[in-house]
Structure 1
Amino acid sequence: MRRAAGVVGELLMTLGALVLLFVVWQVWWTDVTSDRAQAQTVSSLTRDFAAAPTEGGTPAPSLLEGDAFAVVRVPRFGADYARPLVEGTSAAELARGLGHYIGTAGPGEVGNFAIAGHRTTYGKPLTDIDRLRVGDEVIVETVAGESVYAVTGHEIVRPWESDVIAPVPGDPGAKPTKAMLTFTSCHPKFSAKQRWVVHAELTLTRTREQIALKDDVPAPAPSVEAS
């Protein structure tokens, strides 16, 4: 019995060590590796954007799931905050940065441009989502230019309440008349019990040429067909 108890004790100690190592990997090491990879993606996208023509307009690329296509900057999160935006919201894509909900509007488009991101682990790009305040800017840069949004409010919902990413948040059957952005992330931290949601509205756009000239241009009124 004494020998069996010793074996069980050793097994429990080994199991505890393995669990501890997994927690360290999940909480700390994934941040290290994802931060490095995301910074490299941002650098690559920034170079590509800088090389794009500044006159005549740049057509939006045809995106495949997993493509990194934009850089998201949030001044509230720090002057150096810049995260890549990837098409799709699977676990693999969210490990690479922020994820664009497939089927939602694109940057600057009428409708709801919806983005998901981790609040903990894998670079935790939305760890400070609760710090955003009404009026804070969210800047989304693509090869075509920049779309600037202003935060309008927060809400906390249950995971299955997907109407927050509808074209008109909270009203899935409505037809959108303005360009919006929605962030979603887990709440509370280290839990997937709820979702923290932030909504924002487009305030201005800048083409690549206007960025070069540092000229802010108010967002154009959306074109909406009569119903």
Structure 2
Amino acid sequence: MLQLQDSAARRFTRGPRTFRRTVLVLGELLVTAGFIVFLFVLWQLWGTNMAADARQREMVREFSRNLADPAAAVAAPAVVDGRPTVAAEPATGTTLGVVYIPRFGADYARPLVQGTSPAILDALGIGHYEGTAMPGAVGNVAVAGHRQTHGAVLDNIDELVPGDRIYIQTRDGYYVYSFRNSEVVLPARTDVLLPVPAQPDAAATERYLTMTSCNPRFGSQERVIAYSVLERWQPASAGPPPAEIAGQVQRAAGED
């Protein structure tokens, strides 16, 4: 009888110990999973930015070196009746030029690359929507970029104020767009990419620039759209870059 009681007692005490071990193992697994999630978030918000920043800085320097190479440079023609030169749309992945936005900081310089696939936006900079207008053309130059990750190329898009200038440098020269206004739309609103944004039946007479990015900053439920219009252009043959971005261009090229 005593042996039966001892056996029952051991089974009774073994049950709580097993339960405690199970709880401890589950707790450790949850802590490990939480740490992995933390590392993933850290990589998304910090690691991807560092990797993309380094690659994009090198792309800008390479673009600038090619412009300085007489064998590679393409001289822009003189201005004819005020109309800007418009290049042909290149192959996907081609670096079209460099975007400078003084509002985003004195060192802001990002590559403009043909295409908007994840492979381009996640690593190479600002993407140009294929099939939309090229810089300087009548119609809509539509581009896209990330906010909080992968270089955060359009992180401060919501800080633009009317009159802010966006400079696009290509082999042909500098296209200077003046910011007008912005709006927040749902992702399905692809009409913002039309030749006249959001007006499917209108014929374009102006030269627009439309920048698109995710909204809010840490989400993608919406899209923030920033509209600008071409103010002027400066051919490459005209000499130094526009005075407002001369320092930015020099630093981006690694000349400082």
Q: Same-fold call, TM > 0.5?
A: yes
Q: Give matches, 1:1-227, under 5 Å.
A: 1-51=19-69, 52-54=73-75, 56=77, 60=87, 63-95=90-122, 96-212=124-240
Residues 189 and 56 (structure 1 numbering): CA distance in 2 closer, same or farther, change over 3 Å? closer
Q: Which amino acid letter does the alignment assign opposite residue 36 of structure 1?
A: A
- The CA deviation at 1:206 is 1.2
Residues 90 and 205 (structure 1 numbering): CA distance in 2 closer, same or farther, change over 3 Å? same
Deviations 1:115-169 (A, max 9, x none): 1011111110111101111111100001111111001111111111111111000
User: Conserved in 2, the CA contact under 8 Å of 1:48 and 1:143?
Assistant: no
SS at 1:173 equivalent: coil
* Partner of residue 12, structure 2: none
Whichever of the two has the greater Rg, that structure is: 2
Q: Which amino acid letter does the alignment assign opposite residue 4 of structure 1?
A: T
Q: Which amino acid letter does the alignment assign opposite residue 53 of structure 2?
A: D
Cα distance in 2 between the residues matched to 1:191 and 1:59: 35
What is the count of residue pairs matched by the alignment? 215
Structure 2 residue ranges without an equivalent (≥5): 1-18, 79-84, 244-256
User: Conserved in 2, the CA contact under 8 Å of 1:60 and 1:143?
Assistant: no
**With structure 2 as the length reference, what TM-score do the two structures score?**
0.79
SS at 2:66 equivalent: helix
Cα distance in 2 between the residues matched to 1:92 and 1:45: 19
- The CA deviation at 1:65 is 1.2
Q: What is the alpha-carbon root mean square deviation over aligned residues?
A: 1.9
- The CA deviation at 1:211 is 3.3
Q: Which amino acid letter does the alignment assign opposite residue 176 of structure 1?
A: A
SS at 1:125 equivalent: coil
Stretch moving more, 121-130 or 54-63: 54-63
- Percentage identity across paired residues of the two chains: 44
Stretch moving more, 52-61 or 204-213: 52-61
**With structure 1 as the length reference, what TM-score do the two structures score?**
0.89
Residues 156 and 56 (structure 1 numbering): CA distance in 2 closer, same or farther, change over 3 Å? closer
- The CA deviation at 1:188 is 0.9
SS at 2:196 equivalent: coil
Residues 61 and 163 (structure 1 numbering): CA distance in 2 closer, same or farther, change over 3 Å? closer
SS at 2:214 equivalent: strand
SS at 2:107 equivalent: coil
